[in-house]
Amino acid sequence: MTTDPALATLQQLDARHHLHPFNDNAALARKGTRILVRGEGCHVWDAHGQRLLDAFAGLWCVNVGYGRRELGEAAARQMDTLAYYNSFFACTTEPTVRLAAKLAELAPGDLNHAFFTNSGSEANDTILRMVRHFWAVQDRPQKNIVIGRRNGYHGSTVAGASLGGMAVMHRQGGLPIPDIHHIDPPFWFADGGDLDPDAYGLLAARRLEQKILELGPERVAAFIGEPIMGAIGVWIPPRTYWPEVERICRAYDVLLIADEVICGFGRTGEWFGQQYFGFQADIMPIAKGLSSGYIPIGAVMFNDRVAGVLKERGGELAHGYTYSGHPVCAAVALENIRLLQEEGIVERARREIAPYLAERWAQLGEHPLVGEARIAGLVGALELVPDKRVRRGFPEPGKVGTLCRDLALEEGLILRATYDAMLLSPPLVIGRAEVDELFEKAWRALDRTARAIGHASAA
């Protein structure tokens, strides 16, 4: 807790009345919450006035950076004109339609049809229902199983958490719901053994084929995966993985769902993760970078085939949210996309920043505490290990990562820790000087962590 009385009051109110997501709320109430007050570009300021380089873009989402007035202005304009109307009663609003058309233009392949939601979790709820409906209206109601991956993350609602493969989430609330199965994910660092990454990528993809054959292709509706597995620790699959998954899905007529909630809108340096890895999904949930986190909005993009069946044979879609296609959110998303396109933010991130960031990230990889420095465009991770020569983690996962995260904060740097991986996902507008700032702060945090734990290298 702080000594500043105004801040102390806020922290007490927070401790008393606010349950935080993904937190041990009792421990947090004792410690006191950090309150953020302002953001500009790649930096945020907390209530103590500490300036922090946000190398995590909020929660993987502030792609255009903080403080873009254009987005607030777009929201205000739309609120003044028409603050709300729905898309239910044979109605809609102009920004909603324009956003659907814009997304159809941007999305890879024939992902031409948008259904709007408020978040990535809701998008995945929508998907689970629509995928089952898609097969049911084609007289194949038994084709209702969705396969996801252990340690995958698809959100926190009942369907999202069920599709995801986080054991800790499944333990709360009796998940997964029926007819969702999980296979092992591709994570070469821990699971690749002596295989080279490309051979391992094929092996990991073929787990999907084994599972489809085990369940029977007539039972399997779809496969869902994040192009890069974000929340679990930025697990970047080998290049061979996704094309092989795509081949398998086509061979057994299983719909392929690429969860682009993190990868979408430039995170990898391409607009979508599918373009980075060279594959094409049938269905794509998006959120986060769609509005750069300035306002809640998500969507599901369906391809021509799926949307065609839903439209021609699906009857009335008994599904929708009060705020599906909210005009203010749509106006902000459109403005965000305008900035990304007209200012060439994604282009510049790929051409200028990604190579420099990769170079500096690799230098961090030379730190004795780092077993692997992986990166794809503007998303990466440092895997902290007891012994750099061995691809094995610490005996008590999470302790060292949490310490390193806290020390990074003291250095003025926000990095997320998942277990002992330090995650990177900065605003796409990060400049070279800020990449240097990131490197220096991260290196100091790694040094201090190594000393604090008596790491062999710090002796």
Which residues here bind ligand PXG, judged by CB under 6 A? 59, 119-121, 124, 153-155, 160, 226, 230-231, 259, 261-262, 287, 298
Q: Which of 167, 97, 120, 79 is nearest to 286 (CA)?
A: 120
Q: Which of 256, 332, 254 is nearest to 291 (CA)?
A: 332
CB of 258 to ligand PXG, least distance (A): 10
Q: Are strands 113-117 and 145-149 parallel, antiparallel or unpaired?
A: unpaired
Write out the two tokens for 140: 């194949």
The residue (of 124 and 280) whose beta carbon lies closer to ligand PXG is 124
- CA distance linking residue 125 with residue 163, whole number of Å: 9
Upstream peptide bond of 243 is cis (omega within 30 degrees of 0): no
- Count of other CB atoms within 10 angstroms of residue 410: 12
5-14 b/e (C-beta count within 10 Å ≥ 16 → b):
eebeebbeeb
Q: DSSP class of residue 2?
A: -
CB of 401 to ligand PXG, least distance (A): 12
Residue 282's identity, in one-letter code, is: D
CB of 240 to ligand PXG, least distance (A): 21
The residue (of 284 and 450) whose beta carbon lies closer to ligand PXG is 284
Burial of 431 (0-12, 13-18, 19+ CB in 10 A): middle
- CA distance linking residue 189 with residue 193, whole number of Å: 8
Strand partners, 427: none
The residue (of 160 and 371) whose beta carbon lies closer to ligand PXG is 160
CB of 281 to ligand PXG, least distance (A): 13
The residue (of 135 and 235) whose beta carbon lies closer to ligand PXG is 235
CB of 99 to ligand PXG, least distance (A): 17
The residue (of 259 and 437) whose beta carbon lies closer to ligand PXG is 259
The residue (of 332 and 450) whose beta carbon lies closer to ligand PXG is 332
User: Which residue bears the tokens 């996902």?
Assistant: 425
CB of 121 to ligand PXG, least distance (A): 3
Q: Which residue is nearest to ligand PXG (CB)?
A: 120
The residue (of 176 and 298) whose beta carbon lies closer to ligand PXG is 298
CB of 194 to ligand PXG, least distance (A): 30
